[in-house]
Amino acid sequence: MPVSIRAIQDGFAGEVTGVRCAEPLSSEDIAAIEAGMDQYAVLVFRDQPLTDQQQMAFSRQFGEFESYNTPGHIRKKEDARLSSGIADFSNLDKSGKIMSDQDRVWFFKLGDMLWHSDSSFRPIPAKYSLLSGRIIPSWGANTEFADMRAAYDALDDRTRAEVEDLVCEHSLLFSREMIGFTEMSPEERAAFRPVRQRLVRTHPVSGRKSLFLSAHAGSILGWTVPEARMFLRDLTEFATQDRFVYRHVWRVHDLVIWDNRTTMHRARRFDKTEVRDVRRTTLAGDVMTIDQEA
Ligand SMILES: [Fe+2]
């Protein structure tokens, strides 16, 4: 059966059929999925039971993994529940029990409920994230996606001109500070040193411009911090209106892929006494959005 993609919303988010993600894809299928990503930015694959190995093999058909030697991984290696190559976004600790809500890892997870783009705090931000739903709680836990291309297109002329050449600084410190989580070690503070990102990006294939917003953005070069934070908050509020948002309601064995270059997303609340086991593979981007200054 050939790959087929049905638009879930007008121009944003598509549902893919005709693919078994556990098996190797033909080059035609890969091309069709990549074209779907360029068009819809978020793709949903239903009923795709995957082992970690299969998820990694599927992901690798679309690019290189983001390096695990770069900072930003919160769980210490010795506390890892899963083997390397796959990121654990569950609420489980190493022993497989629901983690304490006093756990620092839980505090970091809470920050994922802010609108963000994965790895925007790295000099080369991520391309695709692929999230596989293994255990889904009975209530809540949706993932919401916002189309930063449509948001850019909808800006008024004055704002569009204003954002064109702006450069932001992004850091995990900024997004965690936003929820009052400021207890970082000196090593973490050094590792999470802010990086620069352009506020407007151009997609390498479609040529469409988009707003590169993220909760990790905490300043704008040449602006005072209060002015920058208010502007970024305003832009984020504008860009995450209902008309730009797709809400994904998870089923077990869903696989969702999103393009971090053109979307933001956020996790939603769930009953923390229930298990949520979702696992992510992340593909590296190709380029910095702007040169980093030493
Ligand atoms: Fe994320």
What is residue 75's predicted lDDT score, i.e. its pLDDT?
Answer: 74
The residue-averaged pLDDT of 238-254 equals 98
User: Per-residue pLDDT averaged across 1-26, rounded?
Assistant: 95
Q: What pTM was computed for the model? A: 0.96
Residue 97 per-residue DSSP state: S
Number of H helices, E strands in the chain: 8, 15
> What separation in Å is there between the alpha carbon of 259 and the centre of ligand 1?
11
**Mean pLDDT over each residue of the chain, to the nearest integer:** 95
Q: How many angstroms separate the CA atoms of 144 and 267, rounded? A: 7
Question: 158 alpha carbon to ligand 1 midpoint, in Å?
Answer: 30
Type of residue at 167: V
In the sheet that holds 167-170, the strands lie side by side as: 195-198, 167-170, 217-220
19-28, 63-72, 150-159, 242-251: least confident range: 63-72
Residue pLDDT, tens place only, 40-96: 999 999 999 999 999 999 999 999 999 765 655 677 777 888 887 899 999 999 999
* The two three-digit tokens of residue 204, written as one number: 């390498």
* Residue 137 clears pLDDT 60, i.e. is over it: yes
In contact, 276 and 91? CB cutoff 8 Å: yes
Alpha-carbon span 59 to 163, nearest angstrom: 33
**Spacing, Cα 159 to ligand 1 middle (Å):** 27
Phi, psi of 5 (to 5 degrees): -125, 125
Per-residue model confidence (pLDDT) at position 71:
59
Please check the confidence at residue 133 and state whether its pLDDT lies above 70.
Answer: yes
Averaged over 90-108, what is the pLDDT? 94
CA of 23 to the centre of ligand 1 (A): 26
pLDDT at 79: 81
Q: How confident is the model at residue 294 (pLDDT cuts 50, 70, 90)?
A: low
Give ion ligand 1 contacts, CB < 5 A.
Answer: 118
CA dist., res. 60 & res. 56, Å (int): 6
A 10 A CB-CB count for 270 gives 18
pLDDT tens, position by position, 120-130: 999 999 999 99
Could you tell me what percent of the chain has a pLDDT over 90? 91
Secondary structure class of 131 (helix, strand, coil): strand
Distance CA 13, CA 250 (A): 14
Confidence of residue 213 (pLDDT cuts 50, 70, 90): very high
Tell me how far the alpha carbon of residue 15 lies from the centroid of ligand 1, in angstroms.
20
- Whole-angstrom distance, CA of residue 152 vs CA of residue 149: 5
Q: 226 C-alpha to center of ligand 1: Å?
A: 25
Residue 248 tokens, joined: 């994904």
pLDDT at residue number 219: 98
Q: How far, in Å, from the CA of 89 to the mean position of ligand 1?
A: 9
Give me the DSSP letters along 186-218: HHHHHHT--EEEESEEE-TTT--EEE---TTEE
**Does 182 have pLDDT greater than 90?**
yes
Distance of CA 138 to the CA centre of its chain: 23
| Cβ-based neighbours of 252, under 8 Å, separated by 6 or more | 133, 134, 135, 136
Provide the token pair at 110. Answer: 């809470």
Cα 2 to ligand 1 centre (Å): 30
Query: In the prediction, which pLDDT does 83 show?
Result: 80
Q: Is the pLDDT of residue 169 over 70?
A: yes
Q: Give mean pLDDT, residues 234-238.
A: 98
The pLDDT of 5-30, averaged and rounded, is: 97
Ligand 1 centre to CA of 173 (Å) is 15
Give the pLDDT band (50/70/90) at residue 206. very high
118 alpha carbon to ligand 1 midpoint, in Å? 5
Percent of the chain exceeding pLDDT 70 equals 97
Q: What pLDDT was estimated at residue 72?
A: 58
